[in-house]
Structure 1
Amino acid sequence: MNLHHFFIFFLLLIPFTLLSQTRLYNISEVKITKPYEQISPLGKYRYDSLSYEIARKQTNYIFEKFNYTSDDTEVQGFSCIPKTTSGTKIPVIIYNRGGTGNIGRITEEDFPDFYALAKNGFAVYASNYRYVGASGANDQIGGDDIQDVIKLFQSIKNIDFIDVDNIFMVGVSRGGLMTYKSLTHINVNAAAVIGGIADFENLTNKRPIFLTGWTDLSQDLNYKGLENILPDFIQKKEQHIHDRSAVKWTDKINTPLYILHSRQDGKVPIDGTIELVKKLNTLKKEFQVKIYNQKSHSLPYSKFDSFEEIIHWFKKYIKY
């Protein structure tokens, strides 16, 4: 290849290289618009009026929405970042949301949670995962959507103010499953899971609707169920359950974990978490666990010390 041909080849390669990099785009600022009196009953359970209004009115952090590419899919994400970074590098928390399909999808009502974490000196990034909107009923719950967490992790490492040596992860409910599974593919300093799914077999034995689906909600909130989504589910049921159960591959998780769960969790039974903790202990993994007696699922920081404890856990693993 002569110099002229090499130069042409190089120019042709540049667009491919740029396209192959994972980056955020269509970034725009969003705000918490609703006053506390107008938020949902779930929002009022999650937040007290004071902490909500502080998050809504504060000016040191901004909330953004953006898009990024995962596989060949455009995925929506959200962030809470300092308004000014003063040339410093900021540690990051990747927040893995709970819910199935459009149930639990991120909205402005999640921003106070992001702010509660970010105000401790972090930037927070979260994915809505690929199965929202028209595709919400087809959620694979830890199938190909795991790539959405991995690609977000890769994307934020390209942001100039992000401290790539200090990346952490939080997962809530289904987000716990997403956290456990993604940690077998990527490395973060430490992670925390709140009411997370650790044993998908145990969960679906007690709540088979995740396999069979449901039709009793509004159309956008209904769900087909994994056995109707994955064409090979019946033939490979054991493998699909295995792939979504951290208790089956605990040895592959090497990230320091802080696990928080309510003994009276009515959504995700604590049994899976207890089994996971036993295996973490047997394998001499680095972990901490806190089991609350009060009945709750998401352990909102307005009623529990969950966020405070998580931040304390993360700061133990910050690299200076």
Structure 2
Amino acid sequence: MSGSPALTVNVLPHQGCRIPPSTPFLSPLLFPQGEDNFTYCPATGLAVGNEHSEFAGWAFPFPGVFLTEEFISEDEESEIVELMDQDDWKPSQSGRKKQDYGPKVNFKKQRLKAGSFIGLPSFSKKIVTQMKDYSVLDGFLPVEQCNLDYVPERGSAIDPHFDDWWLWGERLVSLNLLSKTVLSMSCDSEDSIQLFPSFSKEKELSKQRISCTSSPRLVPSKEVTVAIHLPRRSLVVLYGDARYKWKHAIYRKHIEHRRICVTFRELSAEFSTGGRHEELGKELLGTALSFQGRPV
């Protein structure tokens, strides 16, 4: 967490989150693929140490994540995937296939134009409308949609990364289709994270005396990885720290069946009202929200 001091807030007992045991490290790498030592709890907003990890019994606040289950119905999911499969899937990196609906971008040279982009697909209009029911997505106007197809047979995965900050805005919105998976969060900052004792409601009385006398624990950010479990048909939003301080990844071991990720991105301030490229941003948004698009 670049340039920021360790967190110093109290953590309440967590409830309602089942923390799976971690498995032994099998690689000398700092982040072995799929080896997360904390699990994000949507009910409390905490990252809670996994049962058999060295961080069992510890937790820390993990802001910038919104997760809602059953964002769409089974019938809606089937219809969306059927419509996607009517178009070609193009080969992508790391065993994935993709369909892009968005402007033509050269991130290295920071150049942007509409290109062959004629809008988001028609089936996304209802999805975008439903997003308005959630305050975290207030004012969210997607200008780009990327469908990514993962299957275990191709070893599909994506390495830890940040999404671009020049063009894309703060909120990254992803709809998880066809199967569950895990979003693995890692931080390569030189800072430390302050952990606090954590205990479940069932063990509260037996551990209360211990936790009251326990001191907070500082650990290097680089030693921490957080698993965000994404159920089938769930919608996840990354913003704030989870967007700008923590990289996200999907590891091969967490792709058990075919999985489609539908990611929506908004424009950055530079392309929004009052920004240097406001007019281009307006033009691209008008195109995107026509919902008449095909993959580019």
What TM-score results when the alignment is normalised by the length of structure 1? 0.22
Give the strand-richer structure, 1 or 2.
Answer: 2
Tell which has more relative contact order, 1 or 2 (C-alpha 8 A, sep 6+): 2
What TM-score results when the alignment is normalised by the length of structure 2? 0.23
